Amino acid sequence: IANAEYMIYKDHKMPINHRIKDLVNRMTLEEKIGQMTQIERSVASAEVMKKYYIGSVLSGGGSVPAPQASPEAWVDMVNDFQNGSLSTRLGIPMIYGIDAVHGHNNVYNATIFPHNIGLGATRDPILVKKIGAATALEVRATGIPYVFAPCIAVCRDPRWGRCYESYGEDPAIVQAMTEMVPGLQGDLPANSRKGVPYVGGKEKVAACAKHYVGDGGTTKGINENNTLINRHGLLSIHMPAYYNTIIKGVSTVMVSYSSWNGVKMHANRDLVTGFLKNTLRFRGFVISDWEGLDRITSPPHANYTYSILEGVNAGIDMLMIPYNYTEFIDGLTFLVKNNFISMSRIDDAVKRILRVKFMMGLFETPLADYSMTKYLGSQEHRELAKEAVRKSLVLLKNGESADEALIPLSKKAPKILVAGTHADNIGNQCGGWTMQWQGQTGNITVGTTILTAIKNTVDPKTEVVFSENPDAGYVKSNKFSYAIVVVGEPPYSETFGDSLNLTLPDPGPSIITNVCGSVKCVVVLITGRPVVIQPYLAEINALVAAWLPGTEGQGVADVLFGDSGFTGKLPRTWFKSVDQLPMNVGDKHYDPLFPFGYGLTTEPTKAN
């Protein structure tokens, strides 16, 4: 049988640059534009992949093959799209991307780690790297090789609905936590060039530094709004972590919806091409955000041809066009054929996309199998998540003086009260970007609630009474030794989380007052950011910031009861009043309730 014609791009022994050059020279404009197009899984199929030469598919927040789909079902879905791509003339494999921003958060039974704000409180980059490695295994368990993480936003105003996706207000913390990239992608080989995209094999995934640049600096934290700051401020606060991720070989960078001094980032050629690609020498591919092109205009999609022109000419290589991909393909084709967009711009985009696909072995291993499904939600990963929860907790108050310290709590108290809307609620303790885009309250996935963890930890003779929202009379009449009140914010994502008052949502304040006004209490806050707490502080004996801990609530009980000590430090300033905002460490006028870096420590109690 005659050998199939030898083609350089198919030969994995050939240098990547040769394979790219050979393949791009074979591609038609239609195949190049298809390669630049990423569509949502709900409109994808093997037929669509083949007909339009689609280069990538994504799951938007909460977009799954079926409710509580097994890892095998995920693998089958991804492989089906891939087989469509492999059946095209040139057989270029597609790359499937998903938001795994605190574990593989769209997937039932995945380990859900603390959101980034909690990881910032750990001050432990090695831990974050391990979380990246665990997340990569769980993502690969479902046949997916690419994640839209880490978010390296530097949140400068907690009124921003995405502030919990940021490791902290200080660029140095965010820079340290870029260890997430080698965790996800693997360490650069010793002799490899810095700044070149790298993914080390089938247990690793391509990462995405997002959202470029200044997403965390928008006015009053209004999502997708305007970041008003001079060039020095942008480069010293919001840019540093991009240097670190590029040096560590990050494969992709996602552009921010936000604007810098009135210029939409999705239309900012100076910063995307001039700075990121030319000055920082980023060699991977730049991806737009979801309908990021549409949102260049106001209202969105008002002039789509203009949006395509501006976004592609700005230097965006892969366009996240979840639904109206034929309109995009037709628009871009028109602009290239009429010389509004040069073929060299198209070739730059395609070469960058192919570089990542060749480098990570997608041409050699385009299809997944079931061999890694055992990693999803593994006990080892849940133990790692518990460690992260323990290290993320920040002790803000523990009695009025040392001899009044309530924490560590006694495991042998006769009867204790557990109260609050977030004590027995996995969805509430995970927060946004969990199972659904906005997250979801209730028993949404496999995990350990804080209440269950408390029951697991105290002496079997201790009576644990749970009442979500007890009245003061009930509390007084029951002679509890102490109470644990777990309250906070409901799950939210993005704009739905923007808040100008940052008050603790009802019924949190009344639960605190009813319980803490009647018995010694420790309040555990489950929030994505600092919230108004000063009015209640006097009646609270002990106060813990637990952020959004994820599925492993045992980590909270471990520290409350002294099996581990408190070590966490505030990754962002805790304001007294929202009227002070924005207020960040280093500001001239700095008058916080609890300063950046604050956190009381406790020693683990001897075996008790």
Ligand X SMILES: O=[N+]([O-])c1ccc(O[C@@H]2O[C@@H](CO)[C@H](O)[C@H](S[C@@H]3O[C@H](CO)[C@@H](O)[C@H](O)[C@H]3O)[C@@H]2O)cc1
Structure tokens at 494: 């993005």
SS3 472: helix
Nearer to ligand X, 19 or 295 (CB): 295
Nearest approach in angstroms of CB 13 to ligand X is 35
- The contact set with ligand X (CB under 6 A) reads 60-61, 99, 148, 210, 289-290, 437, 494
Nearest approach in angstroms of CB 508 to ligand X is 26
Nearer to ligand X, 59 or 373 (CB): 59
Nearest approach in angstroms of CB 492 to ligand X is 12
Give, for 509, the enclosing helix (H) or strand (E). Answer: helix 508-516
Determine how many CB atoms are found less than 10 A away from the CB of residue 127. 20
Nearer to ligand X, 210 or 397 (CB): 210
Nearer to ligand X, 163 or 531 (CB): 163
Nearer to ligand X, 528 or 555 (CB): 528
Nearer to ligand X, 56 or 541 (CB): 56
> What does the alpha-carbon distance between residue 360 and residue 30 come to, in Å, rounded to a whole number?
24
Nearest approach in angstroms of CB 556 to ligand X is 27
Nearest alpha-carbon partner for 96 in 149, 40, 34, 42: 40
Nearest approach in angstroms of CB 482 to ligand X is 41
> What does the alpha-carbon distance between residue 97 and residue 40 come to, in Å, rounded to a whole number?
10
Nearest alpha-carbon partner for 251 in 202, 293, 290, 200: 200
> What does the alpha-carbon distance between residue 37 and residue 583 come to, in Å, rounded to a whole number?
40
- Give backbone dihedrals phi and psi of 468, rounded to 5 degrees, phi first: -60, -45
Tell me the catalytic residues. 289, 494
**β-strands 146-147, 521-526 pairing:** unpaired
Sheet of 542-545: strand order equals 394-398, 542-545, 521-526, 482-488, 415-419, 463-467
- Give backbone dihedrals phi and psi of 96, rounded to 5 degrees, phi first: -100, 125
Whether residue 509 has a cis bond before it, omega within 30° of 0: no
The answer to whether 570 and 596 have CB atoms below 8 angstroms apart is yes
- Give backbone dihedrals phi and psi of 366, rounded to 5 degrees, phi first: -75, -20
Residue nearest to ligand X (CB): 60
